[in-house]
Amino acid sequence: MPIVLITGAATGIGRLTAETLAAAGHTVYATMRDPEGRDAAAAAELAALARDTGRDLRVAALDVTSQASADDAVRHILADAGGLDAVVHNAGHLYLGYVEAFTDDDLARLLDVNTVGAHRVNRAVLPYLRQNRSGTLVYVGSTILVTTPPFLGPYVASKAAFDALAVVTSYEVSQFGIETSIVMPGAITQGTQHFANASKATDERVAAQYAALDPLVERTHDAHEQLFAPGTTADPRDVAEEIRRILSLPAGDKPFRSVVDAARAGADHVMAFSDLTREAFVRRLGFAETLELKR
């Protein structure tokens, strides 16, 4: 079974994906920023789960904001497991508030975590995957780059950049036998701590000038919850299960993009047309081979 590295596995989708893949028989490295400090409780819980179930679920330190940390984590996994087959890029953070009130440092910090972090991990793992001429990069993106709701501006921008980086990277790595799958969860209000742990803008002076809109911001979570039909909930386990399904597929059969959206916002239709348009343009450029997995 594949050996899988998952970033941001302390909570939410990352945590559930680690548990789901381990239950399916994968060797899973559930990485998190600080397993001996702020993430110690999560690390202990995953270790206990592995011990109690006999599943091959291992915890490792990986801070996606540090290239050295990403490099060290990959070196550790390769030495410990003897290989690596797939990476699930899941680490991310949410900002909630008024775009103008987020400073340039705020925005740069979020892009560093949500976008550049995946690039750092790729730079750490791709030399090995390219040498092996195999592997899978799974990106946990978001339908938010299509729906673009209010008061989540920096997060929308970071996920759009994350998606674009995944796409352009896929052209190049496909020529070394490395597949790309972008999984796009829709709005999820249960089972994660995204809204509860969302950061606010640091320019409080500017934020105060938008005070008339505060009631709208305060009901952002509830606004997303009412998207679902009665009796329907957005379960993050559905995302974890989709990642499991994708990794179970043979090389060359994995979907480039998969939308998991209980809100049925229509992002699947938009992205299908967008990808067809993009692929047609790439072919017109004469780069059709970058759209196919070279084995």
For range 222-246, the mean pLDDT? 89
Q: Which residues, 6+ apart, have CB-to-CB distance to 88 below 8 Å?
A: 4, 5, 6, 7, 14, 17, 138, 140, 243
Q: How would residue 7 be classed by pLDDT, with cut points 50, 70 and 90?
A: very high
Q: How would residue 285 be classed by pLDDT, with cut points 50, 70 and 90?
A: very high
Helices H, strands E: what count in the chain?
12, 7
Task: Give the pLDDT confidence score for residue 239 in this predicted structure.
Answer: 97
173-195, pLDDT tens digit by residue? 999 999 999 999 998 876 555 66
Task: Give the pLDDT confidence score for residue 195 in this predicted structure.
Answer: 67
Tell me the domains of the chain and their CATH numbers: 3-291 (3.40.50.720)
pLDDT > 90? residue 209: yes
- DSSP letter (8 states) at residue 9: -
What is the average pLDDT value for the chain, to the nearest integer? 95
Query: Which ranges in 133-185 belong to alpha helices (H)?
Result: 144-147, 153-173
Q: How would residue 222 be classed by pLDDT, with cut points 50, 70 and 90?
A: confident
pLDDT > 90? residue 116: yes
Q: Give the tokens for residue 247.
A: 């990794």
Name which of 232-236, 261-265, 275-279 the model is least confident about. Answer: 232-236
Residue of 29, 98, 139, 155 with catalytic role: 155
Percent of the chain with pLDDT over 70: 98
**Active-site annotation holds for 95:** no
